[in-house]
Structure 1
Amino acid sequence: MKINQPILSVIITCYNYERYIGECIKSVISQDYEWLEIVVVDDGSTDRSWEKIQEFKDRIIALRTENRGQLKTSLTGLSLSKGDFVYFLDADDVIADGAIAQVAQYLRPDVSKIQFMLLPIDHNGYPIGNAFPTLQPSEDSGPLIQSIRKRGYYNTPPTSGNIYRRDVYEGLGEMNYERGIDGVSYLLAPFVGRVVSIDKVLGKYRIHNSNQSSFSVLTSSRMKGYIDRFMGRLHHLSQLVQERCAAAEKIEVRNDYAYVMELKAMSVVVDGKRPDLSQLSAYIGAVMRENTGKKRLALLLFAIALFVLPNKMARHIASIRVDPSRSQQLRSQLKRVLYV
């Protein structure tokens, strides 16, 4: 039997997910990895989540706090953990059987992040689309760094599809611009180690009314919030790279990323107006600069649709772009194209 294996801390934060938290915890307890620590923090739930969590009190580290939001609750969970690697698992998601055994070989000091594909499921656990994002097997961080410099991001799963080496989260400082735990961390990971991409479904990402509600009303202020977080992460990343990676070239943060241009165009649409030609031109130029192949074509068509369609239709496709789960018919197609 192997000894001195890395400890993996699975940190679950929960707010009013009594329906799902038990299944989530069970999916971790059933993993075949001896050096596993489970930390569950209840963020002041008003339902029976804490009672459900207490059913596992002999197998987990559990804490209940006042309601403070996902970021602060996640950081509390991190402070309670001692793992060499950490995995933030959303309380409504589950990790697949045998997943930890499959990633165990990558829990190495040179690896900063492990990412894998997720299968979208409904509230009853039934699959409702294709696994995403599309990942190619790799241990090379170079292309991801290039993507960050070019686009401001790289393709990565939601929180429940990522495992991080602990030090990626240490010394991050203030994140006042952020709501979730892994916004700047996923960007930093390629600069401080190898990012391992696994082209397998090792988790399930639940789509249901509660998490869809965050997209229920599209407003220009919401679009501005997305832009502010995106830019905040990049400015924070630039600072962290300078502090931690002396040999790395400085991150130059721009204002004309395609993602930013897209959100600005959509903010005009959701205000009942039509983007002007200068906005359309800036968006198309950014798309052409940052993308190729099917993704470039899809985004160009999207940009043109925002400009030419009646506002009601333009708003509808904007809502699908922000949250593909709104459309049962288009979910799989959009994820296949937009996550390649």
Structure 2
Amino acid sequence: MQDLTSTQPLVSVVIATYNMGQYLSLAIDSILQQTWKNLEVIVVDDGSTDSTEEVMAQYRDNTKVIYIKNENQGQPKAKNCGIKNTKGDFIAFCDADDFWEKNKLELQIPQFANPKVGVVYSEVSFIDEHNNRYTKDDHEVRYSGKVTNQMLIENFVPFGTSVIRRECINQNGIFDEEFRMGIDWDLWLRYSLEWEFVYVPQQTYVYRVWSGQMSNNYRGRYDHANRILKKFVSQHGNKLDHKYVRKAWADMYMREAAVYARNEKQFFKPLKKILHGLALDPGKLYGWKVLVKLFLGRC
């Protein structure tokens, strides 16, 4: 296998940003300060109206930083624009309000010595909007190898930690611009059909948690998750284990029910979804727990 550490192939890093001028330089500098030196940073400004242009002016003479300013078109188009302007053998991502640890690429790129590996991802740590760092004791389960069955049920890859082989894009495409949210889950599902994933347990990515994030939009998140799963199964159903497809839909209905019961204090809509989920996967203990909590008014 090729020694990627000694040859240092080019890594392209895509930052799609919209009105994140206050954090953007931290993200860019964390990439430029990598111990892995052969890299480029493609910053796609999705029509920002804040200080983003002024921030980017300081990188005007840095040949490793490419700045592209577009009209506002949304996250999928901005990320795809960045990908289309990359030159690297490997492509990575950093959200503009997050940043990398210095040894991220040094830890992850050598995993691609196995030609079957298409995606390498890692553990994540956290920071708040005031730059206070902290950890979460989430006990998230991560997977390596052929991960389609597990990915159907849960997107366990923290997006910003991911590095992908260019051949994944050439063979399996870029982000689906039909979707506004959950675009990484759709991408991983497609890639998982042909490529292996590798999990690196070190924390290489620092994720910022703050009040205005899109991830707080649970209605939009579940609407898109339903659409993504439906489209993936309809297009690739002949390649899937349908036991896991049922489990995936069951998990979707149960978790959606819990979120609606907790946030909107609904009863009948969550009840219908829980029962639907349990019909698909009656052995799912989580669904029974949600059902009991729903009747006790404790969701």
Alpha-carbon shift at residue 302 of structure 1 (Å) = 3.9
Distance (whole Å) between structure 1 residues aligned to residue 263 and residue 130 of structure 2: 32
1:20 and 2:62 aligned: no
Contact 1:265 1:279 in 2 (8 A): no
Partner of 2:296: 308
1:80 and 2:80 aligned: no
Partner of 1:42: 45
1:281 and 2:267 aligned: no
Contact 1:262 1:283 in 2 (8 A): no
Distance (whole Å) between structure 2 residues aligned to residue 265 and residue 99 of structure 1: 36
What letter corresponds to residue 167 of structure 2 in structure 1? Answer: D
Instruction: Give the stretch that moved more between structures: 250-259 or 191-200.
Output: 250-259
User: Which runs of 5 or more structure 2 residues have no equivalent in the other structure?
Assistant: none
Matches within 5 A, 1:177-216: 177-179=179-181, 181-211=183-213, 215=216
Partner of 1:122: 128
Contact 2:119 2:198 in 1 (8 A): yes
User: Which runs of 5 or more structure 1 residues have no equivalent in the other structure?
Assistant: 243-247, 291-295, 315-340
1:263 and 2:253 aligned: no
Instruction: Give the stretch that moved more between structures: 59-68 or 23-32.
Output: 59-68
Alpha-carbon shift at residue 156 of structure 1 (Å) = 1.8
Superposed CA deviations along residues 276-334 of structure 1, whole A, max 9, x for unmatched, are 755443345556545xxxxx45x64344323321xxx64xxxxxxxxxxxxxxxxxxxx
Counterpart of 1:53 (choices 36, 52, 56) is 56
Alpha-carbon shift at residue 135 of structure 1 (Å) = 4.8
Alpha-carbon shift at residue 240 of structure 1 (Å) = 6.0
Distance (whole Å) between structure 1 residues aligned to residue 275 and residue 259 of structure 2: 14
Distance (whole Å) between structure 2 residues aligned to residue 87 and residue 126 of structure 1: 25
Using a 3 Å threshold, how does the CA distance of structure 1 residues 3 and 241 change in structure 2: closer, same or farther? farther
Distance (whole Å) between structure 2 residues aligned to residue 303 and residue 145 of structure 1: 28
Alpha-carbon shift at residue 89 of structure 1 (Å) = 0.8
Distance (whole Å) between structure 2 residues aligned to residue 81 and residue 271 of structure 1: 43
Distance (whole Å) between structure 1 residues aligned to residue 77 and residue 278 of structure 2: 38
Distance (whole Å) between structure 2 residues aligned to residue 33 and residue 278 of structure 1: 52
Superposed CA deviations along residues 44-99 of structure 1, whole A, max 9, x for unmatched, are 11110121122123130111111111111000001111122211210011111211
Using a 3 Å threshold, how does the CA distance of structure 1 residues 280 and 193 change in structure 2: closer, same or farther? closer
Matches within 5 A, 1:1-340: 4-57=7-60, 58=62, 59-108=64-113, 109-130=115-136, 134-135=140-141, 139-141=144-146, 144-148=147-151, 152-170=152-170, 171=173, 174-179=176-181, 181-211=183-213, 215=216, 223=219, 225-238=220-233, 241=236, 249-250=239-240, 252=242, 254=246, 256-264=249-257, 266-267=259-260, 272-275=265-268, 279-284=273-278, 289=283, 296=285, 300-309=288-297, 314=299
Distance (whole Å) between structure 2 residues aligned to residue 134 and residue 197 of structure 1: 12
What letter corresponds to residue 93 of structure 2 in structure 1? Answer: F
What letter corresponds to residue 13 of structure 1 in structure 2? Answer: A
Measured on the aligned residues, the alpha-carbon RMSD in Å equals: 3.1
Using a 3 Å threshold, how does the CA distance of structure 1 residues 233 and 273 change in structure 2: closer, same or farther? closer
Instruction: Give the stretch that moved more between structures: 228-237 or 173-182.
Output: 173-182
What letter corresponds to residue 204 of structure 1 in structure 2? Answer: V
Distance (whole Å) between structure 1 residues aligned to residue 265 and residue 184 of structure 2: 33
Name the SS for the 1:61 alignment partner.
strand
Instruction: Give the stretch that moved more between structures: 25-34 or 248-257.
Output: 248-257
Q: TM-score, normalised by structure 1?
A: 0.73
Name the SS for the 2:42 alignment partner.
strand
Contact 1:86 1:166 in 2 (8 A): yes
Contact 2:124 2:203 in 1 (8 A): yes
Distance (whole Å) between structure 1 residues aligned to residue 91 and residue 25 of structure 2: 20
Distance (whole Å) between structure 1 residues aligned to residue 150 and residue 100 of structure 2: 28
Distance (whole Å) between structure 1 residues aligned to residue 10 and residue 74 of structure 2: 27
Distance (whole Å) between structure 1 residues aligned to residue 28 and residue 198 of structure 2: 25
Using a 3 Å threshold, how does the CA distance of structure 1 residues 90 and 300 change in structure 2: closer, same or farther? farther
Contact 1:118 1:132 in 2 (8 A): no
What letter corresponds to residue 52 of structure 2 in structure 1? Answer: S
Contact 1:122 1:206 in 2 (8 A): yes
How many residues align structurally? 287
Using a 3 Å threshold, how does the CA distance of structure 1 residues 304 and 166 change in structure 2: closer, same or farther? farther
